[in-house]
C-alpha cells in the first residue's frame, strides 16, 4: 500500500488531471490511496467568497458562479457530454455551498471558513475520480470527512488518532485505488474541519500511518526538495536525501515543500517520504527517511513574508521576567498567534509572529494595557540552515536587519 498526494498545481486544469492519470499508469494504479487538493487557486477564491459573504456583498452569487465556471471549463475539456455524472456531482457540491450560505446562522469566521473551503477538495477529487474511470482506471471515491475524526478547533483541527485509524481501516480496501481529499476532516457534530493551510500533505501522512503504508509520495511541480524556493532564490539545488529530523527542522522554519505536521506520524513508523516531480515521475526526486542528515550538505534558505515584529517592555522599566513572558504567551495562544522567533533581554521581549488569523491588532490593544508595545507589520523572516559566510552575506545585502539570531546550525534574520 502506497499513499500519493497531488497538490493544487498538479490538477489546476484538464491537462493536469490527465497527467495524474499518466503518473498512476506509470507507477501502477492499484493498492494506493491518492490524496488530492483543490484545483489551482480554488482555495484562494473560496476565501474571497467567504469575505464577500461576511461583507454581505451583492457580488457573492457572481463569485460563486465564476468559480463554478472555472470547474465547468475543466469538465468540458475532460468529458464529451454534459450528461456525464461528473457534472451532476459538481452541481451538487455548488448547490450545497449556496445552501450553506442561505442557512448559516453562525457569525464565527473560522467555523464558516471550514464549512466552505473544503468544497474545493470535494469537487476536485470527484472530477479526478470520474476522469480516471473514464480512461479505464478503476477507483473508489471517499469523502474524507467520514474518515478523519478531529476536534472542533476550526482551521487548525487536531486529529483523534484512535477514531481516525478505526474509520480508515474500516473503509479503505488496500487492494483498490482510493481517491480522497486532503486538508479536511469532521468533528463530533459532523461539521467540516480543516487541518491548517497546506494540510493535504498532513492528510497523506495520516493515511500512511493508519494503513502502515510502504511509503508516501508528494507530487510537485519541482524536481524534489530544493535548498530554497526557486520563486524566491536563484541557483537552487536538489537535496537528494534528508533525514526525518532535518526535514522537520526545515518544515518548522517554514519550508513550503513539506507540511510541518506531515513528518511526525511517518517518523514514528519509519515510513519513507518521497517528493517527486509530476512532470517527470521516473526521476529520483528527494527521499526523506532514516540516515544521513542532509545530502548534499548545502545551505538551505527559507523565507516567511508578511509577518509582524513585536517588541514589548514593562511600563515601569522593571525586568521582563518569567511571569510577564507566561502572560504574553497565554495571550498568543488565546488569539491563535503563531510565534516564529523569540528574543528577550533584561527589560524587553521581542517576537516575530504570523498573523494568519488576523488577530494581531486586537492582541496589540490588549498588550498595551500592561506593556509598552512597538510593532512593525510586513516584515520578513529569513532562515538559513547550515549557513556559511557567503550564505549570510547573500541574505543581508540590501536589507534592513531588525534582529539577528545565531545558533549552531541555524541563523535567522528579521528584515524590514
Which residue has cell 483543490?
Answer: 38
User: Coil, strand, or helix at residue 69?
Assistant: helix
Q: pLDDT tens digits for 133-157? A: 999 999 999 999 999 999 999 999 9
Residue 95 has pLDDT above 70, yes or no: yes
Cα-to-chain-centroid distance, residue 413: 24
Residue 193 has pLDDT above 90, yes or no: yes
Q: According to CATH, what is the number of the domain 2-213?
A: 3.40.1160.10
Local confidence band at 255 (pLDDT 50, 70, 90 cut-offs): confident
For range 127-132, the mean pLDDT: 98
How many whole angstroms separate alpha carbon 55 and alpha carbon 60? 9
Local confidence band at 259 (pLDDT 50, 70, 90 cut-offs): confident
- DSSP-derived letter for residue 337 is P
Domain residues of the chain, as ranges?
Answer: 2-213, 300-415
C-alpha triplet 197, 203, 207: angle, nearest 5° = 175
Q: pLDDT tens digits for 314-370? A: 999 899 999 999 999 999 999 999 999 999 999 999 999 999 889 999 999 999 999
For range 293-306, the mean pLDDT: 93
Strands 371-385 and 192-194 turn out to be unpaired
Give the rounded percent of residues in the chain with a pLDDT score beyond 90.
91
In 3D space, the residue among 199, 186, 175, 202 whose CA is nearest the CA of residue 152 turns out to be 186
Which residues partner with 294 through β-bridges? 242
How many whole angstroms separate alpha carbon 387 and alpha carbon 302? 12
How many whole angstroms separate alpha carbon 174 and alpha carbon 169? 9
Local confidence band at 197 (pLDDT 50, 70, 90 cut-offs): low
For range 43-70, the mean pLDDT: 98
The size of the chain, in residues, is: 416
Higher pLDDT, 194 or 248: 194
Residue 170 has pLDDT above 80, yes or no: yes
Strands 192-194 and 184-186 turn out to be antiparallel
Q: At the top level of CATH, which class does the domain 300-415 belong to?
A: alpha beta
Q: pLDDT tens digits for 59-92? A: 999 999 999 999 999 999 999 999 999 999 999 9
> Looking at residue 256, what is its pLDDT?
75
Q: What is the pTM of this model?
A: 0.85
First to last CA, the chain: 47
- What's phi and psi for 296, nearest 5 deg? -75, 160
How many whole angstroms separate alpha carbon 327 and alpha carbon 383? 27
Q: What's the mean pLDDT when you consider all of the chain? A: 95
Amino acid at each position: 500500500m502506497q499513499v500519493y498526494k497531488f497538490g493544487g498545481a498538479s490538477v489546476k486544469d484538464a491537462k493536469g488531471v490527465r497527467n495524474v492519470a499518466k503518473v498512476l499508469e506509470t507507477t501502477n494504479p492499484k493498492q494506493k490511496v491518492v490524496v488530492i487538493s483543490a484545483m489551482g487557486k480554488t482555495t484562494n477564491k473560496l476565501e474571497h467568497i467567504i469575505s464577500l459573504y461576511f461583507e454581505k456583498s451583492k457580488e457573492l452569487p457572481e463569485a460563486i458562479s465564476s468559480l463554478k465556471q472555472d470547474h465547468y471549463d475543466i469538465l468540458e475539456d475532460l468529458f464529451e457530454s454534459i450528461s456525464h455524472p461528473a457534472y451532476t456531482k459538481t452541481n451538487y457540491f455548488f448547490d450545497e455551498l449556496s445552501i450553506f450560505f442561505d442557512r448559516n446562522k453562525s457569525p464565527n469566521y473560522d467555523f464558516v471558513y471550514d464549512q466552505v473551503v473544503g468544497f474545493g477538495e470535494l469537487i476536485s477529487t470527484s472530477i479526478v475520480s470520474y476522469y480516471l474511470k473514464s480512461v479505464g482506471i478503476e477507483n473508489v471515491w471517499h469523502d474524507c470527512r467520514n474518515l478523519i475524526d478531529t476536534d472542533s478547533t476550526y482551521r487548525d483541527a487536531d486529529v483523534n488518532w484512535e477514531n481516525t485509524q478505526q474509520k480508515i481501516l474500516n473503509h479503505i480496501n488496500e487492494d483498490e485505488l482510493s481517491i480522497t481529499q486532503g486538508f479536511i476532516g469532521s468533528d463530533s457534530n459532523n461539521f467540516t474541519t480543516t487541518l491548517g493551510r497546506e494540510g493535504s500533505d498532513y492528510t497523506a501522512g495520516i493515511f500512511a500511518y493508519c494503513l502502515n503504508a510502504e511509503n508516501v509520495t508528494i507530487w510537485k511541480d519541482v524536481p524534489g526538495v530544493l535548498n530554497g524556493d526557486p520563486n524566491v532564490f536563484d541557483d537552487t539545488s536538489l537535496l537528494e536525501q534528508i533525514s526525518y529530523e532535518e526535514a522537520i527542522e526545515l518544515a518548522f522554519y517554514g519550508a513550503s515543500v513539506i507540511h510541518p505536521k506531515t513528518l511526525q506520524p511517518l517518523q514514528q513508523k519509519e515510513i519513507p517520504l518521497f517528493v517527486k516531480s509530476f512532470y517527470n515521475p521516473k526521476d529520483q526526486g528527494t527521499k526523506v527517511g532514516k540516515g544521513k542528515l542532509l545530502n548534499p550538505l548545502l545551505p538551505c534558505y527559507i523565507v516567511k513574508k508578511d509577518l509582524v515584529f513585536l517588541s514589548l517592555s514593562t511600563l515601569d522599566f522593571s525586568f521582563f521576567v518569567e511571569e510577564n513572558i507566561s502572560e504574553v504567551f497565554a495571550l498568543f495562544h488565546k488569539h491563535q498567534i503563531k510565534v516564529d522567533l523569540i528574543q528577550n533581554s533584561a527589560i524587553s521581549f521581542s517576537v516575530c509572529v504570523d498573523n494568519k488569523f488576523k488577530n494581531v491588532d486586537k492582541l496589540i490593544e490588549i498588550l498595551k494595557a500592561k506593556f509598552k508595545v512597538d510593532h512593525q507589520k510586513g516584515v520578513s523572516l529569513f532562515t538559513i540552515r547550515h549557513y556559511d559566510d557567503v550564505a549570510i552575506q547573500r541574505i543581508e545585502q540590501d536589507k534592513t536587519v531588525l534582529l539577528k539570531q545565531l545558533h549552531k546550525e541555524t541563523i535567522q534574520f528579521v528584515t524590514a
